[in-house]
Chains A and B, each alone.
Chain A
C-alpha cells in the first residue's frame, strides 16, 4: 500500500514539475470542447446529449497525452529501472501509476465539467454528485486500462497514436456507458433507464485492474 502511494506521489511530482505540459493538456482538452460546441452550436438540438459526448471525447483524447507522458518522464530520469531494482511489487507500481494517471485525468475532468456545462447550457448543481460518481467509475477504468496499454507502447515512436488505436476500441463499452449516464444526468436527471451501464462501467474497471495484476509485470520486464 505504501508503495502504491509512493509511486503515485513520485509520478505526480514529476508531472507537477512540468507546468507547461499540464497547461498544454488543459488547453488542449478545453479547445476540444470549444471546437465541438462550435460544431454543434450555436443552437443545440439536444444539448444534454451533445454535451456529454463532447465532455468524454475531450477527456479520452487528452487523457492519452497524460498517459504516455508519465512513462516518458520516467524514461528521462531513469526512474523506471531504478524502481524495478528496488524489488517493489510490480502490481503495486502499476497501481501507483494508475492512481497518478487517475488524479491527472480527474483534474482535467474537474476543469472540463464547468466549461462544458456552460458552453452547452446544461446541468445544475444537484446533478454534480451524480456526475462525480459517473466520472469516478469511468475514469478509474480509463486509468486502469490506459496505464496497462501505455506500458505496451512505451518507447515506441508513435506511442500516442498506437495507444489511442488500441485503447479506444477496447474502451468502447466504458465510453458508451459514461456518455449515456452523463446524458441522463444532464437531461432529465434520471438515471434509472440507463442504470445497467453502471454495471458495465464497474465490470470494465474490475476487469482492467484484474488483467493488470497478471500482465503488468510481464510487460514491464519485456519493455525495459
Chain B
C-alpha cells in the first residue's frame, strides 16, 4: 500500500518555505523596480504575468511527457504526475488570463485584443478545463488512459494553434519591452520564484494522488487516480 515516502514529506515544506520566500522577495523587488516609461506602473504586472505564462507551458509540457510515460509503463505514478502538473498549470493559466487583460486595459485601454498569445492561452485554458472535466467523469482505468491521451494530443497540437492564431491576427503582444538591467533582474527573480512555487504546488497536489491510490488499493478501486479539479 503506497504511503507517501518520507523524503517527499520532508521536501514539501522546504519547497514551500523557499518558494514563498522567493515569491515575496520578487514582489518586493517588483515594487522597487523602475517604472517603465511608456506604460507606467502597470507594466509591473509583467513580473507575475510572464513567469506564470512560462510556468503554465512547462506544466502542460510535464503533463505531456508524463502522459507518454504512463502509456508506456502503465505505472500510476506517471498519471499522478500528469494530472497534478495539469491542475497546477490550470491555476497558473488562470493567473495569466486575469493579469493579461488587467495589463491590456491599462496599457492599451481595452480588455481583450485577440492578440495571439492571450488567445492561444484562452484556447489552452478551455482545452485543459475539458481535460479535468472528462477526467472527473471517468472511472479508474479509463480515467488514466484517457487523461494520458488528452495530455498528449492537446500538447502536440499546441504549436499549430499558436502559429495559426499568429497568422490570423498578427502580433500585437509587446515583444520586448525596453527593460533596464534592473527590470530584467527583477523578472529573473520572478521566474525563479514562480518555478519554485510551481514545483511546491505540484508536489502538494501529488500528495492527493498518493492518498487516492492508497485508498484505492485498500479496496475502493473506483477512486484510483484522483479526479482532476480542485473541487472534484
Q: List the interface of chain A (C-beta within 8 A of B).
A: 148, 152-153, 156-158, 162, 165-166, 169-170, 172-173, 176-177, 196-197, 200, 203-204, 207, 211, 215, 218-219, 221-223
Task: Confirm or deny: B131 has a beta carbon within 8 angstroms of a beta carbon on chain A.
Answer: yes
Contact B134 A152 (CB under 8 A): yes
Partner among B71, B127, B167 whose Cβ is within 8 Å of the Cβ of A166: B127
Residues of B within 8 A of A222 (CB): 141-142, 144-146
CA distance A196 to B163 in the complex (A): 12
- Nearest chain B residue, comparing its CB with the CB of A173: B164
Task: Confirm or deny: B168 has a beta carbon within 8 angstroms of a beta carbon on chain A.
Answer: yes
Given contacts A156-B138, A166-B127, A169-B126, contact A215 B153 (CB under 8 A): yes
Contact A219 B146 (CB under 8 A): yes
Q: List 22 A-B contacts (CB under 8 A).
A: A152-B149, A152-B150, A158-B137, A162-B130, A165-B127, A165-B133, A166-B134, A166-B150, A169-B161, A170-B153, A170-B157, A172-B161, A173-B161, A176-B165, A197-B167, A200-B160, A207-B156, A211-B152, A215-B149, A218-B71, A219-B145, A221-B145
Q: How many A-B contacts if CB must be within 8 Å? A: 81
CA distance A100 to B21 in the complex (A): 58
Residues of A within 8 A of B146 (CB): 152, 219, 222-223
CA distance A54 to B127 in the complex (A): 23
Residues of A within 8 A of B160 (CB): 173, 200, 203-204, 207
Contact A172 B164 (CB under 8 A): yes
Q: Which of B116-175 contact A (CB under 8 A)?
A: 123-124, 126-127, 129-131, 133-134, 137-138, 141-142, 144-146, 148-150, 152-154, 156-157, 160-161, 163-165, 167-168
Residues of A within 8 A of B141 (CB): 222
CA distance A215 to B155 in the complex (A): 14
CA distance A158 to B168 in the complex (A): 32
- Nearest chain A residue, comparing its CB with the CB of B169: A176
Residues of A within 8 A of B168 (CB): 176
CA distance A169 to B133 in the complex (A): 15
Where chain A touches its partner, the secondary structure class is: helix
- Nearest chain A residue, comparing its CB with the CB of B165: A172
Given contacts A156-B138, A173-B164, contact A218 B154 (CB under 8 A): no
CA distance A200 to B163 in the complex (A): 10
Contact B130 A166 (CB under 8 A): yes
Residue of B124, B138, B149 contacting most chain A CB atoms (<10 Å): B149
Contact A165 B126 (CB under 8 A): yes
Given contacts A158-B137, A166-B134, A218-B145, contact A211 B153 (CB under 8 A): yes
CA distance A94 to B17 in the complex (A): 50
CA distance A176 to B138 in the complex (A): 32
Contact B149 A218 (CB under 8 A): yes
CA distance A113 to B46 in the complex (A): 47
CA distance A197 to B167 in the complex (A): 9
Given contacts A165-B126, A165-B130, contact A177 B145 (CB under 8 A): no
Given contacts A156-B137, A177-B164, 14 further A-B contacts (CB under 8 A): A158-B137, A166-B130, A166-B154, A170-B153, A170-B154, A172-B123, A172-B164, A173-B157, A204-B160, A207-B160, A211-B152, A219-B146, A222-B142, A223-B138
Partner among A162, A197, A215, A219 whose Cβ is within 8 Å of the Cβ of B137: A162
Residues of B within 8 A of A197 (CB): 167
- Nearest chain B residue, comparing its CB with the CB of A177: B164
CA distance A182 to B161 in the complex (A): 19
Q: Which of B20-47 contact A (CB under 8 A)?
A: none
CB distance from B71 to the nearest CB of A (A): 6
Contact A166 B131 (CB under 8 A): yes
CA distance A148 to B161 in the complex (A): 18
CA distance A148 to B146 in the complex (A): 11
Residues of A within 8 A of B165 (CB): 172, 176
